Structure 1
Amino acid sequence: MIANKFHLRSFIAFIHDFIAIIVAWWLAYLFRFNFEIPADFQASLKENLIWIVPTQAIIFYSFGLYRGLWRYASLPDLKRILLTVALGAVIVPFVIFMLQLSALVPRAVIFLAPLLLLLIMGGSRILYRSWKERRFYSLRNSERNSVIVLGTGSTAINLVKDLDISPDWRVVGLLGDNPKKLGMRLHGVRVLGMISELPVWVEKLGVGHVIIAMPAASQSERRRALEMCADIGVKALTIPSYADLVSGKMTVSQIHDIGLDDLLGRAPVILDTEGLHDLLAGETILITGAGGSIGSELCRQIMAFNPRQLVLFELNEFVLYTIQEEFLSRFPDISLAFVIGDIKDRARLMQVFDKYQPTVVFHAAAYKHVPLMENENSWQAILNNVMGTYVLARVAIEHAVEKFVLISTDKAVNPTNVMGASKRLAEMVCQALQQSVLRAENKHIASSKTCFVIVRFGNVLGSAGSVIPKFREQIAKGGPITVTHPKISRYFMSIQEAAQLVLQAGSMGGVKGGGEIFVMDMGDPVKIIDLAKDMIRLSGLNEEDIKIVYTGLRPGEKLHEELVTENESALPTQHEKLRITLSYQVDEQWLAALMAWFAEQPALNDEEVRLALAKWVPEYSDKRTDNQSAPEERMEASIMH
């Protein structure tokens, strides 16, 4: 049926052009003789058309003029018509000359007829398409959602162009922050006013959706726009992140609900791709904790640099199975090894390192949940985070691993909890091992040198065990949302940004001999209460629907996190989002004493662990109550560094 319908339309188009040839020649004669054609020329016109019409019809058919649909007529179709008419303008006079009809055909007609034919054939197609589109748009506009776009830059204009053919959205106006653009029409859509006038225009135009198309806007500007939409009861949407647009992963038309990472408003990470290719391309990379939030994202980011082999080391069977299913389908051309093991198990590590011979290790395996590690699990926290790091690092040195990257946390800075203190102790272990490697190298004992790199960053949006999944679950249950303190704040970044900066730090490490601590630019700290309110708004609710309850700080929890200690100075690097700090406070003797202490200990209880941490980590302060008194002045001084 579809084929028959198509053939019928092609036949009608052919008949139209057949008639157009006759009309064009007839009009040419009329114009030539001032609308009074002599009788002998009328007779010659009829005789000539017997030869002219079939000749031009054959040309039209041969050039495929009837393979498309008029409703989609476009510039290529007009070019094809122009070509066929021009060819006919050459062939038809040749036929007239060969048949010796030239005496009866005025020269003006020979030149005028093709022009008229081009006008009739092209014009009728364009008129038909315009008619169909007007009908289509009028019908479609009645079904599409009206939307106002916030933004008047190039991104907003591209969005308007894409949505112009969308079956779901109809842009009724633009709002911007540049008064000079007021009243202008951008791709046919008028700039109605300033963003602050959104409530007025929403009520006037009756729209139910607003698209925020300002990828370069700050976090505060995005939050203000979201709050405005929430206050007037319209659905706020946004475009993909600037990083996704630049990379080509997504287009501006792929609008979506606003997420917390959109509200962060952080600039995209610009990577030193040449340095990362030197570090990763053609190498065997081992990632511990490969099934976790950070570990799995690291694996995804590394794939872009074409490693020779990726070894995913993980203790949890289910998460390793999950990432195996994803990676085998997404990266069939890269050699992958999915290995179950414990970083404290030296024999298993030796087996894996002997088999795969990795040259770079990213150590993401850790116990990181602060309250869980504070009570009942303190000994396991330092066994896994400290002893596990030591065992893994020693095996890496013995196998001549070139780079060992430890993923640390801002909670290791002036720690007030077991988890943070254990991560600080892991940092110190790596720094002490770096000193032993350097000393062995200077004495020509070691055949190769392992470079240790430590990377600190804050909370990652949506990572396992973080506050965001907890808030999302509480909202789904109808509330309340529990926040420990009205002033508590944390640093946040997206998981993609965190993984990219870990890789970047890994490529830069070693310029100072190894053992450097890289501190990420986390931007401004975010108040958890603001985060909770944002999540309520993003869910389409308000604070009357979902209550917020304050529960008090938990044991070991800080009011504010810090990025460097008082004894550390964070220096800039060649990458704007990474700073470096050097704080060698430990050596081989200290490390030997720590390992001897571990060897002598049975399983300690929580209180014994805290007492031991106070000895081994000078910055550790066990404030079991009211630890929010950790001075804000110290945090501000650390940020200034």
Structure 2
Amino acid sequence: MKRQRFAHWQIISIALMLYDFVAVCGAYFLALFLRFDCVYSAIPAQYIGPYNKFILPYAAGCIVVFLLAKMYNSVWRYASYTEFVRTLAGSLLTSVAHTVLITVLLQRMPISYYMMGAFFQFVLLIGARFGFRFIQIFRRRHDVDASAKRIMLIGAGNAAQMILREMTLASEVRDRVVCIIDDNPNKWHRYLSGIPIVGGRDEILSAVEKYQIDEIYLAIPSATAEQKRDILAICSETNCELKQLPGLYQFVVGEATVSAMKDVSVEDLLGRDPIRTDMQEVYRFITGKVVLVT
């Protein structure tokens, strides 16, 4: 009979449970330690005694609450707002329970113990869960890949945010967005996910030169054909590759990603369908005739 192996995510979850147990215990000890000027012998017995009696059952209870909150089932590589809220809620709930239970059952502790303990607990819990992702994002933004293309993003809306998120998290995407163009003056000289919004469409040509752009992505799925034509006409004056989202549908269904971008065609620049000439009729009309082309 084969021995059943734990899946990788299960091993990570078990390790995270052990970490949480130690972190919860350490958070409130650190709060008590700091309250008495970092001198262990200065902590009165009336406080260290209740702490020692209460902290292990409390830490075990925290693990149960975190399990019920599904804090061990997430893919932390892609942790986002949902995981943050779960961690915040779980930490807040258990900290309130700690305050009530230790006060009612054992001893009223110093106010700073409750406040600092809750703060340290949250910081330690959130740090373990989001630390890897923050390191990954930091490394990707500061690693220089000679083969990576420098990208200008036109549009600073939700579609642009989705594209930036994918480029930040996807390890296989090496290209980097270095600047953003948007016609809304309220967004100028601000940042979207750390990328500067340098101005409106009038700044496209100067920004291409300043930021040494290789590709331009048009990420305005709601733009009309005329708006697209005007913007793409400016972009066509550069030597950059032009790509755009196929349409509003891709954004609505959540496909505003790098892989969904398509090359700009002649039809996009025309703003209309091309005219299809009946060449057979043309041949029949000019056959045997001398034609002057002016």
Q: Could you tell me which of 49, 53, 57 is aligned with 1:47? A: 53
- How far off its partner does 1:221 sit? 3.3
Q: Does 1:221 align with 2:215?
A: no
Deviation at 1:258, TM superposition (A): 1.6
Q: Residue 131 of structure 1 corresponds to which residue in structure 2?
A: 135
Segments of 5+ residues of structure 1 without an aligned counterpart are: 267-459, 471-552, 558-623, 629-641
> CA distance change for structure 1 residues 210 and 38 in 2, over 3 Å: closer, same or farther?
same
Shift of 1:188: 3.7
Pairing partner for 2:24 from 21, 28, 36: 21
Q: CA deviation at 1:202?
A: 3.7
1:263 corresponding residue in structure 2: 269
Q: CA deviation at 1:262?
A: 0.8
Measured after TM superposition, the shift of residue 13 of structure 1 is: 1.4
Is the CA contact (8 Å cut-off) linking 1:240 and 1:250 kept in structure 2?
A: no
How far apart are the structure 2 equivalents of 1:70 and 1:25?
Answer: 25
Q: 1:186-205 residue pairs with structure 2 within 5 A?
A: 186=192, 188-192=194-198, 195=201, 201-205=207-211
Q: What is the rounded CA distance, in whole Å, between the counterparts of 1:14 and 1:240 in structure 2?
A: 45
User: Partners of 1:58 and 1:223 in 2: how far apart?
Assistant: 56
Letter in 2 for 1:48: F
Report if the CA contact (8 A) 2:35-2:113 is conserved: no
Secondary structure, counterpart of 1:29 in structure 2 = helix
- Within 5 Å, give how 1:323-362 maps onto structure 2: none
Cα–Cα, structure 1 residues 66 and 198, in superposed 2: closer, same or farther, change >3 Å? closer
Which residue of the other structure, out of 30, 37, 54, is the alignment partner of 2:33?
30
1:56 aligns with 2:62: yes
> Bigger radius of gyration, 1 or 2?
1
Paired with 2:123 and 2:181, the residues of 1 have a C-alpha distance of: 41
Change (3 A) 1:139 1:554: same
Partner amino acid for 1:163?
I
Are 1:141 and 1:170, in contact at CA under 8 Å, matched by a contact in 2? no
Question: What is the Cα deviation at residue 136 of structure 1?
Answer: 4.1
Greater relative CO, 1 or 2 (CA 8 Å, sep 6+): 2
Aligned to 2:160: 160
- What per-residue deviation string (whole Å, max 9, x for no partner) do you get for residues 210-230 of structure 1? 23457444687367436413x
Instruction: Normalising by structure 2, report the TM-score.
Output: 0.68
Give the deviation of 1:466 after TM superposition.
5.2
Task: State whether residues 58 and 98 of structure 2, in contact with CA within 8 Å, keep that contact through their aligned partners in structure 1.
Answer: yes
The AA in structure 1 aligned to 2:15 is I
1:5 to 2, 5, 8: 8
Does residue 74 in structure 1 map to residue 80 in structure 2?
yes
Q: Per the alignment, do residues 249 and 265 of structure 1 end up closer, same or farther by CA in structure 2, a change over 3 Å counting?
A: farther
- Cα separation, partners in 2 of 1:2 and 1:225, compared to 1, 3 Å: farther
Q: Distance in 2 between matches of 1:54 and 1:181?
A: 48
CA change 1:219–1:556 in 2 (3 A) is: farther
1:89-148 superposed Cα distances (whole Å, 9 cap, x missing partner): 4554676578x5x24x52637733334322332244334431232224445966642122
Residues 554 and 138 from structure 1, CA distance in 2 versus in 1: closer, same or farther, beyond 3 angstroms?
A: same
Measured in 2, the distance between the counterparts of 1:238 and 1:86 equals 44
Amino acid at match of 1:16: Y
Per-residue Cα deviation, 1:72-93 (whole angstroms, up to 9, x for no partner): 3333223323333344345546
Aligned length in residues: 273
Q: CA RMSD in A?
A: 4.4
Q: Which residue of 1 aligns with 2:170?
A: none
Q: How does 1:288-437 map to 2 (within 5 A)?
A: none
**Cα distance in 2 for residues equivalent to 1:147 and 1:54:** 49
The alpha-carbon distance between structure 1 residues 160 and 250, as it changes in their structure 2 partners (threshold 3 A), is closer
1:15 positional shift:
1.9
Report 1:81-120 matches (<5 A).
Answer: 81-89=87-95, 91-92=97-98, 96=102, 102-103=106-107, 105-106=108-109, 108=111, 111-112=114-115, 113-120=117-124
Q: 2:241 aligned with 1:235, yes or no?
A: yes
C-alpha separation in 1, matches of 2:184 and 2:53: 68
Aligned partners of 1:87, 1:258: CA distance in 2, in Å? 52
1:205: how far off? 3.2
1:157 partner letter: G
Q: Between the two proteins, what is the percent identity of the paired residues?
A: 19
Residues 174 and 190, structure 1, Cα contact 8 Å, conserved in 2: yes
Q: 1:141 to 1:37 in 2, by over 3 A?
A: farther
**Cα distance in 2 for residues equivalent to 1:87 and 1:67:** 19
Distance 2:163 2:228 in 1: 26
The structural deviation recorded for 1:66 is 1.8
Name the one with the larger strand percent: 1
- Residue 88 of structure 2 contacts residue 122 of structure 2 at CA under 8 Å; is this kept in 1? yes
